[in-house]
């Protein structure tokens, strides 16, 4: 009887442990919404290291970047996960847009090629994440088809979603507009750059992980 | 001084009833749409693609941007009736109809990025800006 109980508890706890260990949280969104800024903020807060480079040029992140182990302690609770920062998803890439940022034609073309491959990689990773933080630029119109497509895909795959309406430090930011565009989802307004409302974000992140 | 008017040359719309793509696989649907877009046509699809089809469309578009000269991608937008304020009965009827005959209450606009500069979308209208 004792053996059966032991095996049963080992199986249950084993499963729970495996699930927690392999929890993968993906950061998705359009280019320049601040996915890497937010990923960096979290990594810096809890591991002391950045995950990727941030810049004003779109498609700065052109490969999926992974931080293997991030452990967040908040109000006596611990959340451990693998952080997956993905390239911004877009429907068009024009190398000439990069040239506006002072890049030479050859560099711009190379960057455009890498950006297209990054988008494909980001979409393919949708099959491999357990929960997703959709990072949106709160100063932009939230009704873009890319945002709707990303969230629609997560819903179709039954992946829990948290929407981070980023850049609330900017005057034009409108978190209410993001909330009314996606009323079925939890939306948390933050500034990843300035670390504003990060406590609210971490609380929402714990709630998100419970839905996995 | 006479202001020169910009003229749009050869704008071509392809209106596609949903029945035209209804029986196709995801790959075939996406291929059909992208073939038209590559021919510089703006596709107006009566209905909407499923979420996974939209993702596949973006994936295939990106692969084409890499391989087809002067192709820069697509602009894509969907407009559909707002069911948020409708009662439960209406929503149930709408969903049954959708399952039976497909989602033909929506309208999808897909155009080549070289022709369609931007599609401004708010919940009630689409504004297609040509480049």
Domain contains B41: yes
Domains within chain A, CATH numbers bracketed: 22-210 (3.40.50.300)
Tell me what pLDDT residue A76 has.
Answer: 85
Instruction: Tell me what the pLDDT averaged over chain A comes to.
Output: 88
Q: What is the pLDDT of residues B4-17, one digit of tens each?
A: 565 556 688 999 99
pTM given for the model = 0.84
**Cβ–Cβ below 8 Å for B55 and A144:** no
Q: Which two tokens stand for residue B37?
A: 């877009």
Does residue A99 sit at the B interface (CB-CB below 8 Å)?
Answer: no
- Residues A2-7, mean pLDDT to the nearest whole number: 63
Tell me what pLDDT residue B87 has.
Answer: 73
Q: What span, in angstroms and rounded, lies between the C-alpha atoms of B65 and B75? A: 13
Print the domain residue range for B61.
Answer: 12-130
Q: What is the pLDDT of residues B72-131, one digit of tens each?
A: 999 999 988 766 666 777 777 767 776 666 666 789 999 999 998 888 877 678 888 887
Domain contains B2: no
Residue B73: which CATH number?
Answer: 3.30.950
DSSP A170-208: STT--HHHHHHHSTTSEEEE-BTTTTBTHHHHHHHHHHH
Tell me what pLDDT residue B5 has.
Answer: 60
Q: Which ipTM was obtained for this model?
A: 0.83
Chain B residues inside the 8 Å CB shell of A90: 73
Average the pLDDT over each of A7-11, A20-24, B82-86, B91-95 and give the range with the smallest value.
A7-11
User: Among B80, B89, B62, which residue's Cα sits nearest to residue B125?
Assistant: B80
């Amino acid at each position: 009887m004792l053996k059966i109980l032991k095996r049963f508890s080992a199986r249950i706890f084993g499963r729970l442990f495996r699930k927690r260990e392999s929890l993968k949280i993906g950061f998705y969104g359009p280019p320049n919404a601040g996915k890497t800024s937010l990923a960096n903020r979290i990594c810096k807060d809890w591991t002391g290291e950045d995950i990727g480079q941030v810049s004003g040029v779109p498609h700065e992140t052109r490969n999926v970047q992974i931080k293997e182990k991030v452990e967040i302690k908040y109000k006596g609770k611990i959340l451990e996960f693998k952080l997956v920062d993905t390239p911004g998803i877009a429907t068009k890439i024009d190398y000439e847009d990069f040239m506006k940022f002072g890049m030479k034609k050859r560099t711009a073309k190379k960057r455009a090629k890498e950006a297209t491959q990054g988008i494909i990689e980001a979409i393919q990773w949708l099959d491999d994440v357990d929960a997703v933080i959709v990072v949106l630029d709160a100063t932009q119109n939230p009704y873009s088809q890319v945002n709707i497509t990303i969230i629609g895909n997560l819903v179709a795959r039954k992946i829990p979603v948290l929407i981070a309406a980023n850049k609330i430090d900017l005057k034009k930011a409108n978190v209410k507009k993001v909330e009314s565009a996606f009323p079925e989802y939890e939306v948390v307004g933050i500034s990843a750059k300035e670390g504003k409302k990060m406590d609210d974000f971490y609380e929402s992140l714990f709630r998100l992980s419970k839905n996995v | 001084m006479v202001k020169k008017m910009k003229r749009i040359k050869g704008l071509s719309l392809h209106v596609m009833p949903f029945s035209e793509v209804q029986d196709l696989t995801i790959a075939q649907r996406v291929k059909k749409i992208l073939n038209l877009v590559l021919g510089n046509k703006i596709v107006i699809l009566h209905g909407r693609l499923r979420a996974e089809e939209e993702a596949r469309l973006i994936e295939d578009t990106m692969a084409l941007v890499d391989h087809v000269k002067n192709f820069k991608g697509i602009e894509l937008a969907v407009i559909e009736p707002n069911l948020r304020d409708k009662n439960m009965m209406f929503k149930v009827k709408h969903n049954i109809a959708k399952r039976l005959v497909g989602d033909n209450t929506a309208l999808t606009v897909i155009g080549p990025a070289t022709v369609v500069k931007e599609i401004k979308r708010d919940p009630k209208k689409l504004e297609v800006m040509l480049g």
